[in-house]
Amino acid sequence: MPSTKEIKTHMESVGETRKITNAMYLIASTKLRRARQELENTRPYFEALQGEIKRIFRTAGNVDSHYFYPPQGAPPLNGTYGCLVITADKGLAGAYNQNAIKRAMELLNAHPDTKLFVVGEYGRRFFDSHRIPIEHSFLYTAQNPTMMRAREISALLLDGFDRGELQKIYVVYTDMENSMSFQARCSRLLPFHRKIFTDTAEHERQVRETFEFLPDVRTVLNSMMPSYVSGFIYSALIDSFCCEQNARMTAMDSANQNAENLLTELSLQYNRVRQAGITQEITEISAGAKAQRQKKER
């Protein structure tokens, strides 16, 4: 059985760890609120951009663009794929990183001819340790997603897509479904399905005006798609960052609760050992006093 000094040292160690996990919980909650606010500030622009693309499709009808899936009957797109994998820079976030890596590995197993583009130190270390080649690693941190970085990623991916080096582009990220749950997704970024932009929601107005496109509708659409791709990647970066902080908050909250339970058990154990020590001392004193009395009586 450990001594009272050892138990007290253990309690102090758990208490210091609890301070760290509690601080990490508070930092993650602050980052989460800030990231959500940034996403809400930029969301209206990209929703309006998507609405304008829908208006082009509903006005011009069948638009020919290499950013969209070829019509039925065309040869399938079975060339080299590109995959943007978004992970965190560190762990301590539950299964957040493992779920994203799992989705990326599923795509690699299904289509080995896939070039990886990685954001986040965790993903870089995983693929390097498993000797999986990385086409491009974005060395800036995943802790500060910005629109400028999303444009840099978008420009690199679009360059490979426009030159025909990449037939399809996927994005592996973590989508926050609500404040309580999130899920790792592997979404195809390019080419788009026309149905995404041709379906009309109930709240959207039908287009009745006649539009004039200069120089032509294809050029106008192709000039808008890079901004839409950048917006999608920025949204994926922000969503992943929010999910990372949410997962870290959950992990740190669980660690705090475990620390509380461990301190309670250690406190009970400390009291038992201390009481046992006191009882033993009283017993020894009583036995010594009894022995002295017996000695005097003799």
| Mutual angle of helices 121-129 and 96-110, in 10-degree steps | 50
Return the SS3 of 171.
strand
Q: Which residue type, as a one-letter code, is found at position 263?
A: L
Instruction: Give per-residue pLDDT as tens, 214-243.
Output: 777 777 777 777 888 888 888 888 888 888
Rounded Cα–Cα distance for residues 263 and 229 (Å): 50
Highest mean pLDDT, choosing among 75-79, 122-126, 181-185, 277-281: 122-126
- pLDDT confidence of 23, banded at 50, 70, 90? confident
What is the pLDDT at residue 61? Answer: 61
Could you give the CA distance from residue 82 to residue 97 in angstroms, rounded to a whole number? 20
Note whether 28 and 248 are within 8 A (CB): yes
Structure pTM?
0.75
pLDDT tier, 252 (very low <50, low <70, confident <90, very high otherwise):
confident
The region that residue 79 occupies, defined by phi over 0 for left and psi between -120 and 50 for alpha, beta otherwise, is beta
Looking at residue 84, its pLDDT comes to 92
* 196/58 Cα distance (integer angstroms): 12
Short-list 274, 294, 285, CA closest to 4:
274
Give the sign of the dihedral formed by CA 132, CA 137, CA 143, CA 146.
negative
d(CA 232, CA 154): 9
